Each structure stands twice: as C-alpha cells, then as structure tokens.
C-alpha cells in the first residue's frame, strides 16, 4: 500500500472511529507530512521501519525544535504506526522511543511592590471596582486557581473563623486562612456592592452586572487592564497572583509543605518549582549587591 493511501485510511479512521475534530486531524496530518518530508524515499508502507522514529527525533533536535513540538509529533507518528499495525498493514513493531522531556517553564512572578500596585488599581468608587478589588485580594491572599476563585460560593467564606473553603481539582476540599486585607474587601463587596447587582440571591460570591458568575475571559481582561494602568509590562494572567502567593510565602520563610497544602498540590514536586523562582530572585539580589560594592 502506498503511504498516501495509508494516510487517507488513517484520516478516515480518526474522523469516523475516533471522532476527532477537523482541527485535531489537521494537526495529525501536518505532523505526518513533516515526517515523510524527512523520509522522501519511503513511498510504500513496506518501506517503513521500526527505527525511523528515532532518526526523525534526532533530526528534529538537531534543527532546534522545541521539546513540546517533538513530543506532539512523536505521539502523532506512533499512533499512525499503531493504526497500521492493528489493521495488518505494517509487520514491524510499533516504535518505542524515550520521548524528550518537555521543558519546564518557571511561572512569571511579580515583585511585592508590583502586586501591591495591581491590587490597588481598581476604582473603589464603583461597585465593579470594589468587586474586582475583593477578587484580586482574595486570589493573592489564598493562592487560588482562577477556576476556584470564580466558582466560590458565599457559603465558602467563613468570616467568623476567617477561613475560605476551596474545592480544587478532583473536588478535593481544602481550607485556607482568609487574610486581613482580603477579608476587609470581601466584606466591603458584600455590604456595598453585591446586593446592588441583579441576581443577588445567587449562591456564587462574585457576580457580573447581570447577576451571573464572572467569566474567565472577563477576569483575564480586567487583570490585564489593571496591570497596564499601573505600568506593569510583564506577561500577566489570573494565574500570576497564585504564582506570586507561593513565591512570596517561600521567600518569607514559609515551609514548603505548608505552601503545598495551601495551594492544593497533590505532589510536593509541583510546589518545588517555586523554590527555584525564590532562589533565582535571591541570587539576582545578591549579584546586584556585589556589583554595587
């Protein structure tokens, strides 16, 4: 069977049996196109070898491709081989390779001064400004994921015990202390802004003007707007405040295990990435100090 015919069968399989979207299938096709542009001499399925994929990976690395791109292409090609093997078109073994490790990216972090500027950006003369201030303070004080912040309900806030109950990934429950500033502005929002919105009887804590829960897109735009208004030109997203929460706690001497629990990380290795950020910032400050001596 010719390679082009095998690809056509594979595409039909992805659409009909796997039910993949057009966009996903096009990505698979593009990966196969790149693979067979490298092996221009392979015209028939019988020309394929179990060892072709390793050669292709080495070629991709030598051309400076990112590990994330190579990982995706490796998966696409292995799936193609597995399809051919399952349907009896390929007699060899499905390639077994050690995929490249995806490069870990350190989360972007603001300085404490930049965080303060960001938290003070909303206009407290408006109900929406009071709400946004409460959201930003709460996210930073408790290290919330954006999904956790936007899904918070009024009953999750215990003002008597100064605790926020959070339901994170996998509906796992954790309790995080509610800081003084966050509590102050959550109370201000409840007393001065929330009851002026439609849908005030909604169980959700943070509502838009229509009385619906705040959307991720809206909150992202608000954070970008506030960052620009105070001159922060770093890449920033709602998740940035969660990163800052963890980094600033560790820089302040907090124990890693305690930070892990507050973030809701199952594996402490996930939390340890923030120790690299903290160390990097400390070394940077030390280098600057030495230069000025």
Domains of the chain in start order, with CATH, are: 3-86 (1.10.150), 112-292 (1.10.443.10)
- List the pLDDT tens digit at each of the 293 positions of the chain: 899 999 999 999 998 888 888 888 898 999 999 999 888 888 998 888 888 888 888 778 777 777 778 888 888 898 999 999 888 888 888 877 765 555 555 557 788 899 999 999 999 999 999 999 999 999 988 888 888 899 999 999 999 999 999 887 666 788 888 888 899 999 999 999 988 777 778 899 999 988 889 988 889 899 999 999 999 988 888 788 888 888 888 777 777 787 787 887 766 666 666 665 554 444 444 454 445 44
Q: Is 134 within 8 Å of 186 (Cβ atoms)?
A: yes
Distance CA 52, CA 71 (A): 15
Which helix (H) or strand (E) segment holds residue 179: the answer is none
* Residue (of 156, 162, 160, 187) closest to 174 by Cα position: 156
Residues with catalytic annotation? Answer: 145, 169, 239, 242, 265, 274
Tell me if 203 sits within 8 A of 215, measured CB to CB. no
Instruction: Report pLDDT for 272.
Output: 64
CA-to-CA distance for 120 and 133, rounded, in angstroms?
A: 7
- What is the Cα–Cα distance from 181 to 140, expressed in whole angstroms? 10
CB-based burial, 18-50: b 16+ in 10 Å, e otherwise: eebeeeebeebeebbebbbeebeeeeebeebee
pLDDT at 259: 77
Cα(273)–Cα(102) distance, rounded to whole angstroms? 15
Structure-token match 């998966």, residue found: 75
Two tokens at 255? 């124990």
Contacts with 165 (C-beta within 8 Å, 6 or more apart), sequence order: 156, 158, 173, 174, 175
**Distance of CA 94 to CAs 70, 104, 262, Å?**
17, 28, 43
Number of residues assigned to the chain: 293
Helix (H, G, I), strand (E, B) or coil at 153: strand
85, two tokens: 């093997």
- 217 token code pair: 């897109």
pLDDT score for 283: 42
pLDDT of res. 40: 87
Note the pLDDT of residue 157.
Answer: 93
Would you give the DSSP letter of residue 252?
T
From CA 192, how far away is CA 21, in angstroms rounded?
47
Distance of CA 105 to the CA centre of its chain: 11
Distance of CA 19 to the CA centre of its chain: 26
What's the confidence (pLDDT) of residue 276? 57
Q: What is the 8-class DSSP label of residue 89?
A: S
Q: Are 189 and 131 in contact (CB under 8 A)?
A: yes
Which token pair is 11? Answer: 């595409």
């Amino acid at each position: 069977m010719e390679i082009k015919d095998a690809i056509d069968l594979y595409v039909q399989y992805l659409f009909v049996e796997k039910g993949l979207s057009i966009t996903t299938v096009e990505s698979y096709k593009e990966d196969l196109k790149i693979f067979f542009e490298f092996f221009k001499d392979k015209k028939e399925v019988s020309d394929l070898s179990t060892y072709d994929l390793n050669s292709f990976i080495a070629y991709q690395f030598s051309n400076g491709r990112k590990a994330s791109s190579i990982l995706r292409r490796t998966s696409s090609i292995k799936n193609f081989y597995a399809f051919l093997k399952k349907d009896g078109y390929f007699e060899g073994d499905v390639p077994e390779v050690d995929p490249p490790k995806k490069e870990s990216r350190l989360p972007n972090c603001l300085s404490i001064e930049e965080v303060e500027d960001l938290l003070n950006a909303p206009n407290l003369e408006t109900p929406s400004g009071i709400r946004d201030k409460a959201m930003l303070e709460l996210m930073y004080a408790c290290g919330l994921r954006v999904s956790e912040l936007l899904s918070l309900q009024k009953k999750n806030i215990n003002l008597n015990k100064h605790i926020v109950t959070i339901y994170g990934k996998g509906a796992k429950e954790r309790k995080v202390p509610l800081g003084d500033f966050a509590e102050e502005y959550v109370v201000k929002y409840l007393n001065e802004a929330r009851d002026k919105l439609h849908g005030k009887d909604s169980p959700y804590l943070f509502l838009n003007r229509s009385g619906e829960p705040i959307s991720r897109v809206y909150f992202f735009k608000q954070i970008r707007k506030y960052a620009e208004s105070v001159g922060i030109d770093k890449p920033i997203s709602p998740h940035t405040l969660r990163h800052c929460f963890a980094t600033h706690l560790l820089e302040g001497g907090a124990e890693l295990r305690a930070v892990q629990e507050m973030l809701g990380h199952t594996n402490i290795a996930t939390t340890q990435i923030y120790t690299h950020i903290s160390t990097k910032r400390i070394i940077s400050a030390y280098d600057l100090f030495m230069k000025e001596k």
